[in-house]
Structures are given as structure tokens and as C-alpha cells.
Amino acid sequence: MIDRVQASLFLDEPVGNVPQVSPSRAKALGSKGIYSVRDLLEHYPRRYIDLSSVVTVEGSRIGQSCTICGTIHEMKLKKPRYNLQLVEISLTDATGLLMITCFRQPWLMKSFQVGDRVAVAGKVEFNYGFKRMTNPFIEKVGEGPVRGKIIPVHPACAKVSAAFMLRFVQEALREACGCEDPLPLELRLRYRMPSRSCALQAVHGPRTLQEAQEARRRLAFEEVFLLELFLMLRRAREVADLQAVRHRVDGPAVAALREGLPFTLTDEQEGALGEIFQEMAAPRVANHLLLGDVGTGKTVVAAFALAAAVDSGGQALFMAPTEVLASQHFASIGPLLQAAGVVSGLLTARTAPEERARLLEGFSSGEIPVLIGTHALLEPDVRCPNLTLAVIDEQQRFGVGQREKLLAKGEAPDALYLTATPIPRTLALTFFGDMTLSYLHSRPRGTAPRTTTVLQRSQRGRAYDVALERVKAGEQVFIVCPLIGCSAEERDKRAGADEEEAAHPQVTIEGEEDYQGDNLVAAEAEAQFLQSHVFADYRVELLHGRMKGEEKAQVMERFRSGESQVLVSTTIIEVGVDVPAATVMIVEDADRFGLSQLHQLRGRVGRGGLPSHVFLVSASKKPEALSRLKAMEATDDGFQLADFDLSLRREGDILGNRQSGASALKLVNVTRDRAMIEAAHKDARALLAADPDLSLPEHRFLAREVEMFGRREKKAEEEKDAHHSRRS
Ligand code: ADP
Ligand code: MG
């Protein structure tokens, strides 16, 4: 018993207490974010080299991922460019020669030497007459047969090699062996999961890949489960003493608003509104997130929540991240509310002093029950004696502190958050485990059809044909390129490279952006080309981020007014562009963009009710790149796309790294582990329903783990905040 407790406590000791970890090694580990024994044990292998699938150089197939064992025959450090270093290794086995190219890892020259016997794992390519691997995993192996062994490869750094990392991990595992298992036995049995101690052993030193897989599943479940419990408990604690408002949701203002709408709510909007009203009417403090693409009708739904607050004798604040958004909201729902007998006002930093005084006066007296605005709402003199609802638009654009500040203006206001960021359900469940969620997937009927077509670079004439036809009909065209400019000379080179590439498909080099750079379509050159070759009778203009503000505004104005018909630009048109006659968009090198970004881009055409066409052009020869783009043809739902994109990107890219919990998930993948996340969410809910503060004796250790989780989260958040305040 004592041993188990000791083994468990060992997890939170400093990493320097692990045998073999000297103070200087501990420092090196610290620079990788490994401070405690726990951090070390959560430093999971990046992958495993399965030496049971070892093949010979001769027996390896081009395009196959495999492991080859051999002896280093020669090693060279090369510098093909001033900022590029690569190590080239030739490896021989009894059957042949394999060339290995490793970019940006000069330290390999010190880690290995000629004559070393190593196993390399990667994909076999063939070029310049040799079988090759690019950036494979390289591991020293002893003499003799290696068959059947599985070698974990831990992420290394210059000061601590993968081999050392493994040694430290093994030492730590010895001490932590038998540590308590925080997961309730019932769950472990239900999902047939190994104990924590066994799982840690297995993930760092599996006997079979199957075993590693099971261990990973168990540890991933634990990650989400602890995160969910942490979020739910934190939330419960925050609102423990608060007396929530039970909103009246069937009052006169709500009814009048419904009457006065120039349209009827869609079924989806009704569904979401029902869910919001349920939370608002319940005797708990609502914490609700409404997710939907731009244009799915969130703002109108929020207007109903505002009306319900007023019907309940309360007041409401509606905060948006920018002046433009706040004004838009006020312009669209202000009159609707007005017609329903609800007085509202717009407060931003630009509001004139007299108007501001009038609004604040009216708001604190209750005469103006609803204020829509920007950060200006956070000012201390915005006082709300009776705030019962706070609506925050694009919530991820505000810091936690700002959200809290708004909510703190009332005793226990319900919170409704709106977001157009496509956060798929599993991701939302994971990171917003303490919120209730509603989704709007489709736009209200009446939007014009929009087609999306993926084209190879060589087929892009088809896009120009359509564009030209639409321009002749008086419509307009957006052309989006990933880069600003390159010289004519570079362009010629590029054209040459295109042909060359078609003749000899190039090896793609991971992490080698520079090599592809020459081959990208740049806006400047593209504009010239299109003006002279495609749209000779029309006006083509260029817009990019390096232009002066005034110049940009002029270009935009000429496009908006129809003076120019074709706008070639970088992605800056993403923000705030509304040109009703724009019906065609051609995105060059579309594979360079995330799907969510492409989806946002295509939202810029067809805004005037005309049918529209989007062409995604790519020169990529990679099948994955094209199949990814094909998803854009298949669906118009930004959330589905985000889901798909997620499998290729990190969670943090979507949520921003300020999301709490983001750093805690090391093994979970929100796409692959969808079912697991749903289960962990439900299980955490159920557990807390039965034992709200984890005080049962069998949950003692779980409670401690959640507590430790919270401490690490707090530290991570403080670090992020410090980082953030340094930057701003
Ligand atoms: P979001 O806030 O999600 O971007 P909005 O609420 O601003 O979307 O709605 C986008 C547009 O659709 C607005 O012009 C709004 O008036 C309109 N709209 C909203 N709901 C409906 C509906 N049920 N039927 C028709 N038009 C609607
Ligand atoms: Mg909106």
C-alpha cells in the first residue's frame, strides 16, 4: 500500500529525482518542457520502429514504408543553401546501398559515425539512381538479429538523444511501477483498459504494436476524462453560490419578436433556440455555446434570448469583438427588437460622449434594457443593476479575463456565446466540456446555388472560360494567390519548373518549404498575366497586404463599384468584403490553404443572390492534397470541413493556443478518437452526478489527479498569459 502511494507521489517529483538524470540533463529536459517525472512519462514515443518488418535494401519496394538495418558507410554534412543544412548518409547491407537525406538535423553528425549499425525506418523513394529515404528515423542497433523487437522513438532534442530519453523513461518507470490508477475500476472493466502502470510500461516499451495501441487508447481516455472532470468541477465551483435567474421564455417581447420577423425561423434555428431557452429557464447559470457558420442566422437567435431577458425583467449585454460587427448586429436586430417593444442601444469606443452618457443613464435606470457594443461595454461605468444575460459574439476573440469581466457586471447572469469558428462537436465537447452546445449547420433557405470545382493546374483554362463568360455578363471575379509577387525572371523559371516537374515527379521534402516556393503562383505576376492573356478587354487589379491602406481602399472601391472586373489578391480579402456582383472565385495553389480558410474565402462570392462558381486550382501531384480539396466539392458545411481538416492539423490551430486544456492532450486526436471523447464526456457527467465533489473514498485518487491537472493547467495558462501580455 505504502509502495503504491509512494510510486504515485513519485510522478509529481522533479525530473531530477529520476536515477541517471543529472542536474545538467534535468536542465536540458526542462528546456523541452519536462520538469516533473510525470512530464517525462507523458513524453510519449513519436512512433515505433517495428523491427519485425525489417527488409533488405534489395527487397524494399519503392513507395513502401519499412525498416532497413545496415551499416553506415559514409556520412556528409552538406550546405546546398546558406540557410539549409543536410546530412547525407549512405547505408549498406548485404544486398545493396541506401541513401539517406536528413534535413536540418546537423547534430546527427555527432550522434552517429561511419561503421555504426543502425535501423532506419521511413518511406523508400527512388531518385538519381538510388533508393533513398528522406528524414527517416534512425536508431543505433547492436550486432546480431533484431527481429521481433519494437523500438520506441521518443522525440529528442540536441542535448538529449532519443536513446537517452528512453533510458530516463525506463528509470522513471521502474520507480513509478505500481502507481495508483485514477480511473474508476468500473470504467476500466467496461472498456477493457489496462491499469495506468501497465499502460505506461506498454506505451514506452511495448512487446507488440497491438500492446502499444491498447496502452495509447487507455492513456488517451484518461487525458480526456481528466480534462472533462476538471472543466466540469471548475464550473461547478464557480457557480456554486450563485442564485441563477429562471428566465421567462414565453413572454410578450419574445412573442412580438416572432410576430415581427420578416421571415420564419428555420427548424434548426428553432431547435437551437429551444435549447437556449431551456438553459435560460433552468435554475442553473446557463453557459451555452451556439455554433454556426457566418450567415446561418445566429444573431437572430440571439435576439430572442435578449427579448427573453427583458421579458423576465432583466437586462442584457451583447458584446462583439469589433466596431464593424457590433454596428452590424445593432443595425440588423436593433429595429427588430424595437418593433417588439425592446429598447436597445449601441455602445462602442466611437460613441459620442453625450450619446454615451444618455445610454449609460438609460441602461442603469433600466429604461434601455439592452446594450449592444464592443469592449467598450467592459468599462466600469457601464453599470447594470439587473444583468441577467450576457451574449458574447466570436467568444474566442476575447480573453478569459474579458469574458469574466462582462459576466461580473451581474450577480449570476446566464452566458450565451456565439461562434462562427467551425469547431466540430468532438472538439467542442473536449474543450468546452462545461458548456451546453447548439449547432446551426445550414443557411436559411433562399441562398443562391454555389458550385465548387477542383482543377489541376493544367486544366485551369476551364476556370478562365467560366470567369470570362461571367465577366461578359457584368459579373466579377476574385482570384486568390498564396504569395504577393515574384519577378518575371522567376516566373519564367517557374514555367520551366512546371514542365520539368511533370517530366520527373520531384521528391517531396517534408519541412522544406523553400524548395516548393519557386513553384507557387504569385499575385503580382498573375495579375499581369491575366490582364494581358485572359481578360485583355477588362480591368484587372491587384490587392495585397503590403499595399498602403489608402491604395488598398481605392482598389477595393473600384472593384466594389464595378470599375474593375477582376481582383487578384492574397488572402486579405478574407476580412470584411462584400461585393454582390462577385460570382466567380479562382483560388490558385489551393492545396496551400486549410479547408476552413478556403471555406471562408468562398463565402465571399454569391452574396448578391446570383449563382456562383468556385475553382480550386492545384499543381500538387500528391493524391492526399487533391482528395482533401475534393472535400470542398462534396460539402458546403464549414463544420464538416473543419472535422475533416482536423485529421490533418493540430487542435490548437483551430482553437488558438490560448484554449485551456490544449496542452494537456498529448495522445488524443479529436478526429480519430471521436467515440472515445463522446464516451468520456458522458462518463464524466455521470460520475459527477453520483459524486459531485469526488468525495467518495474510491474516488480519492481521482480527485487528486484532477487537482494536479488543475495546477498544471493554471501554470500553463499563466505562462500563456505572460507570453500574451509580452506580445501585446
Ligand atoms: P450569423 O450571425 O450567423 O452570421 P445572421 O443572424 O446575421 O447570421 O443572419 C444572416 C442573414 O440571414 C441575415 O440577413 C438574417 O436576417 C437572415 N436570416 C436569418 N434567419 C433567417 C431565416 N430563418 N430566414 C431567412 N433569412 C434569415
Ligand atoms: Mg454573426
Are 408 and 460 contained in the same domain?
A: no
CB-ligand 1 contact for 62 (6 Å cutoff): no
Does 699 contact ligand 1 (Cβ within 6 A)? no
As given in the structure block, the three cell numbers for residue 551 are: 491604395
Q: Residue of the nearest CA to atom 27 in ligand 1?
A: 444
Least confident of 112-116, 483-487, 526-530, 668-672: 483-487
**Which ranges constitute the DSSP H helices of 180-208?**
185-190, 196-204
Residue nearest to atom 23 of ligand 1 (CA): 265
If one counts the domains in the chain, the total is 3
C-alpha of residue 443 to centroid of ligand 1, in Å: 8
Q: What residues have CB less than 8 Å from 727, skipping those under 6 apart?
A: none
pLDDT of 268: 94
Domain-located, residue 397: yes
With a cut of 90, say whether residue 544 has pLDDT above it.
no
* pLDDT score for 146: 54
Give pLDDT, residue 344: 97
Let me know whether 622 and 486 are in one domain: yes
Rounded distance from Cα 299 to ligand 2 centre (Å): 5
Measured in Å, residue 534 CA sits from the centre of ligand 2 at 37
> 603, 636, 669: which is the final residue of a domain?
636
Q: Which ligand is nearest to the CA of 335?
A: 1
Task: Please check the confidence at residue 649 and state whether its pLDDT lies above 70.
Answer: no
676 domain-assigned: no
Count CB neighbours of 231 within 10 A. Answer: 24
Mean pLDDT for the stretch of residues 167-195: 92
Does any domain span residue 653? no
Atom of ligand 1 nearest to the CA of 446: 25
Ligand nearest to the CA of 331: 1
Q: Determine the distance separating the centroid of ligand 1 and the alpha carbon of 299, expressed in angstroms.
A: 7
Statement to judge: residues 476 and 401 lie in one domain: no
Q: Residue of the nearest CA to atom 6 in ligand 1?
A: 297
**Lowest-pLDDT choice from 296-305, 358-367, 709-718:** 709-718
**What pLDDT, on the 0 to 100 scale, is given for residue 119?**
87
In this structure, of 326-335, 346-355, 646-655, the range with the lowest mean pLDDT score is: 646-655
Look at residue 125 and tell me if it is in a domain: yes
Same domain, residue pair 126 and 64:
yes
CA dihedral 711, 713, 719, 724 (to 10 degrees): -140
CA of 321, nearest ligand number: 2
What's the CA-to-centroid distance between 233 and ligand 1, angstroms?
36
Residue nearest to atom 11 of ligand 1 (CA): 295
Residue 259 φ/ψ, nearest 5 degrees: -55, -50
With 50 as the cut, is the pLDDT of residue 506 above it? no
Q: Residues 554-563: what's their mean pLDDT?
A: 89
CA quadruple 58, 59, 62, 68: dihedral, nearest 10: -80
- Of all ligands present, the nearest one to the C-alpha of 297 is 1
Could you identify the atom of ligand 1 that is nearest to the CA of residue 296?
A: 3
The answer to whether the CB of 603 is under 6 A from ligand 1 is: no
CATH for 599: 3.40.50.300
Instruction: Give distance in angstroms: CA of 298 to centre of ligand 1.
Output: 7
Q: What is the rounded distance in angstroms from the CA atom of residue 482 to the CA atom of residue 159?
A: 37
Binding site membership of 297 for ligand 1 (Cβ less than 6 Å): yes
At residue 85, does pLDDT exceed 60? yes
Contact 543, 555 (CB under 8 A): yes
**pLDDT tens sequence across 271-285:** 999 999 999 999 889
Please state, in angstroms and rounded to a whole number, the distance separating the CA atoms of residues 208 and 633.
Answer: 41
Query: Are 378 and 455 within one domain?
Result: no
Query: Does residue 371 line the site of ligand 1, with CB under 6 A?
Result: no
C-alpha cell at 150: 519494437
> Residue 705: pLDDT above 70?
yes
Give the CA radius of gyration of the chain.
30
In a shared domain, residues 386 and 306? yes
Phi, psi of 42 (to 5 degrees): -90, 5
Cβ atoms within 10 Å of 689's Cβ, excluding its own: 8
For residue 451, give the C-alpha cell: 458550385
**Predicted confidence (pLDDT) at residue 225 exceeds the cutoff of 90:** yes
Mean local confidence (pLDDT), 572-576? 52
Pocket test for ligand 1, best of 294, 300, 418 (most atoms within 8 A of CB): 300
Tell me, yes or no, whether 407 and 458 share the same domain.
no
Q: Looking at the structure, tell me whether residues 302 and 399 fall in a common domain.
A: yes
CB 221 within 8 A of CB 193: yes
Does 686 map to a domain? no
Confidence (pLDDT) at 279: 95
Atom 20 in ligand 1: residue holding the nearest Cα: 297
Q: Looking at the CA of residue 299, tell me the nearest atom of ligand 1.
A: 6
Q: Is the CB of 328 under 6 A from ligand 1?
A: no
CA of 447 to the centre of ligand 1 (A): 11
Q: Does 272 share its domain with 330?
A: yes
Which residues, other chains included, contact 100 with Cβ-Cβ below 8 Å and sequence gap of 6+?
88, 89, 90, 91, 120, 132, 133, 134, 136, 138
Q: Which of 340, 164, 226, 252 is nearest to 709 (CA)?
A: 226
Give the atom of ligand 1 at the shortest distance from the alpha carbon of 329. 7
Q: Which domain holds residue 122?
A: 53-147
Domain-terminating residue out of 402, 420, 438: 420
The tens digit of pLDDT for each residue in 18-68 reads: 998 999 999 999 988 899 999 999 999 887 877 767 889 999 999 887 889
Could you tell me if residue 313 is inside a domain? yes
H or E element that contains 416: strand 414-419
Calculate the CA 695 to chain-centre distance: 35
pLDDT of residue 718 exceeding 90, the answer is no
What is residue 572's predicted lDDT score, i.e. its pLDDT? 64
Does one domain contain both 473 and 388? no
For residue 97, the domain's CATH number is: 2.40.50.140
Instruction: For residue 647, name the pLDDT band (cuts at 50, 70, 90).
Output: low
Average pLDDT, the chain: 85
Is a pLDDT exceeding 50 seen at residue 103? yes
Alpha carbon of 318 to ligand 2 centroid (Å): 12
Query: Is residue 269 lining ligand 1, measured as CB closer than 6 Å?
Result: yes
Closest by CA position to 348, among listed 370, 332, 371: 371
Grid cell 466579377 — which residue? 476
Tell me: the pLDDT tens digits for 388-430?
Answer: 999 999 877 788 889 899 999 999 999 999 998 878 888 888 8
Using the atom order of ligand 1, give the atom closest to the CA of residue 292.
Answer: 3
Q: Find out whether the beta carbon of 300 lies less than 6 Å from any atom of ligand 1.
A: yes
The secondary structure of 340-376 as a DSSP string is TT--EEEE-TTS-HHHHHHHHHHHHHTSS-EEEESGG
Average pLDDT in the 314-341 region? 92
Q: How many whole angstroms from 57 Cα to the centroid of ligand 1?
A: 62
CA 520 – CA 512 distance, rounded (Å) = 14
pLDDT at residue 621, as a whole number? 81
CA 301 to centroid of ligand 1, rounded, Å? 9
At 121 the pLDDT is 82
What letter represents residue 218's amino acid? R
Going 151 to 152 to 156 to 159, the CA torsion angle's sign is negative
Residue 670: pLDDT over 80: no
CA of 420 to the centre of ligand 2 (A): 7
Cα–Cα dist 371/351, whole Å: 12
Instruction: Return the SS3 of 117.
Output: strand
Q: Are residues 288 and 403 in the same domain?
A: yes
More confident residue, 526 or 73: 73
- The answer, yes or no, to whether any atom of ligand 1 lies below 6 A from the CB of 444, is yes
Ligand 2 centroid from CA 293, angstroms: 8
Q: Is any atom of ligand 1 closer than 6 Å to the C-beta of 299?
A: yes
CB count within 10 Å of CB 591 equals 19
Q: Could you tell me if residue 304 is left (phi over 0), alpha (psi between -120 and 50 degrees) or otherwise beta?
A: alpha
Q: How far apart are CA 37 and CA 722, in angstroms?
A: 25
Tell me, in angstroms, the distance from the centre of ligand 1 to residue 296's CA.
Answer: 6
Question: How confident is residue 548, by pLDDT bands cut at 50, 70 and 90?
Answer: confident
DSSP states of 468-494 = HHHHHTT-EEEEE-SBS---HHHHHHH
DSSP string, 50-107: EGGGEE-TTTPPTT-EEEEEEEEEEEEEEEEETTEEEEEEEEEETTEEEEEEEET-TT
SS3 state of residue 620: coil
In this structure, the answer to whether residues 410 and 460 fall within a common structural domain is no
Over the stretch 463-489, which tens digit does the pLDDT of each residue have? 999 999 999 999 999 999 887 654 444
Residue 267 in domain: yes
Indicate the residue among 618, 636, 654 that finishes a domain: 636
pLDDT at 492: 43
For residue 176, tell me if it sits in a domain. no
pLDDT at 136: 85
Which of 299, 328, 418, 439 most suits a substitution to test ligand 1, by most atoms within 8 Å of the C-beta? 299
3-state secondary structure of 151: strand
What distance in angstroms lies between residue 306's CA and the mean position of ligand 2's atoms?
15
pLDDT value of residue 662: 59
Going by C-alpha positions, the residue among 153, 184, 131, 121 that lies closest to residue 699 is: 184
Q: Is the CB of 447 under 6 A from ligand 1?
A: no
Atom number, ligand 1, closest to the C-alpha of residue 264 = 23
Residue 597, pLDDT above cutoff 60: yes
pTM above 0.85, yes or no: no
* CA 269 – ligand 1 centroid, Å: 10
Assess contact for 102 and 87: CB atoms under 8 A. yes
C-beta of residue 452 within 8 angstroms of C-beta of residue 614: yes
